[in-house]
Amino acid sequence: MSYLEVQFFQIIGEAFHRDILMAELADLGFDTFEETETGCKAFIAAEKFNQLALQTLLESYSADFAFDFSLAEIEQQNWNAVWESNFEPIIIADQIYVRATFHPARPEFTYEIVIDPKMAFGTGHHQTTSLVMAMMLEEDFKSKKVLDMGCGTGILAILAEKLGAVELDAIDYDSLCYESTLENTALNQCSQINALCGSKEAIPDKAYDIILANINRNILLDQLDRYSDVLLPGGKLYLSGFYEHPDLEILKEKAATLNLVYQEHRVNKDWTAAKFIKN
């Protein structure tokens, strides 16, 4: 499988417009981003790339800002090598240590998670993932049933099991994410995680104590009703993958119609994670 590197060069606009662009690119299937002095680089599986959709997106913002772009193909073998060479361990809340298979163990941390970085999403490096992981440390997962939607590498489900969850379903529509979750579940010796490939239709008909959904605003809006259906009264819902403005208010309004009551949110560079409770 090949990846495309799309390099964006900002022609008109302010620095924050780059963040808006990256958020919108995520909705088009781009899964990795790197800021540059002149704009950013974004990476996407070649089979997911739609140049017409990209041009339509850029044209829709032409009154506010403008970017030019160039394309380059990266073979999977080279992509893995590039990603591995830039993968550094991270520490979250002084308790969680996320490392790759080729990094030394750090047993002094309460929770160590090993992620095989074949793909560059769901490693904890992005603000949305690390925000949710930090909030999870404050939640009681012991003996809980958990759903992880848009699981990516399975990192949130893995942490949930390490925190005491006893039954977990991890779902992603991307078959590569599904395979990655299986591999990383095994790497972390997790036995309670059931990986599924699909979207909201793949959510089993059962009740969950906690739902974790780190995706993007549009998919969250589409799936919120299903989350409410399967979340137990008093259950917790953690959402991330969106910006504080205007996304949070839009999600809060939709959640309120589904008996999902907003509790709090955290922000890192405008990326946001929010907690809701089911009435």
pLDDT tens column, 85-120: 667 899 999 999 999 888 899 999 999 999 986 654
141 and 248 housed in the same domain: yes
Quick: pLDDT tens for 43-52. Answer: 888 889 999 9
CA distance 136 to 209: 13
29 and 133 housed in the same domain: no
In this structure, what token pair is assigned to residue 147?
């759903």
Is position 113 within any domain? no
Is position 264 within any domain? yes
CATH code for the domain of 29 = 3.30.70
259 and 145 housed in the same domain: yes
140 and 265 housed in the same domain: yes
Confidence check: pLDDT of 199 > 90 = yes
182 and 263 housed in the same domain: yes
Count the domains in the chain: 2
Confidence check: pLDDT of 126 > 80 = no
Is position 104 within any domain? no
Q: Which residue has the higher pLDDT, 28 or 97?
A: 97
| C-alpha distance from residue 150 to each of 66, 103, 174, 211, 259 (Å) | 30, 26, 9, 11, 22
Is position 114 within any domain? no
Is position 109 within any domain? no
Among residues 63, 81, 99, the one where a domain terminates is 81
Is position 111 within any domain? no
Q: Which domain holds residue 23?
A: 3-81
Is position 12 within any domain? yes
Structure confidence at residue 120 (pLDDT): 43
Contact call for residues 272 and 246 (beta carbons, < 8 A): no
Confidence check: pLDDT of 35 > 90 = no
Quick: pLDDT tens for 236-273. Answer: 999 998 889 889 999 999 999 999 999 999 999 888 99
164 and 74 housed in the same domain: no
**Residue at 44: amino acid letter:** I
Unique residue bearing structure tokens 């949710």 = 132
152 and 250 housed in the same domain: yes
Is position 44 within any domain? yes
67 and 181 housed in the same domain: no
Nearest by Cα to 9 from 35, 45, 46? 35
65 and 168 housed in the same domain: no
- Share of residues in the chain with pLDDT > 90 (%): 65
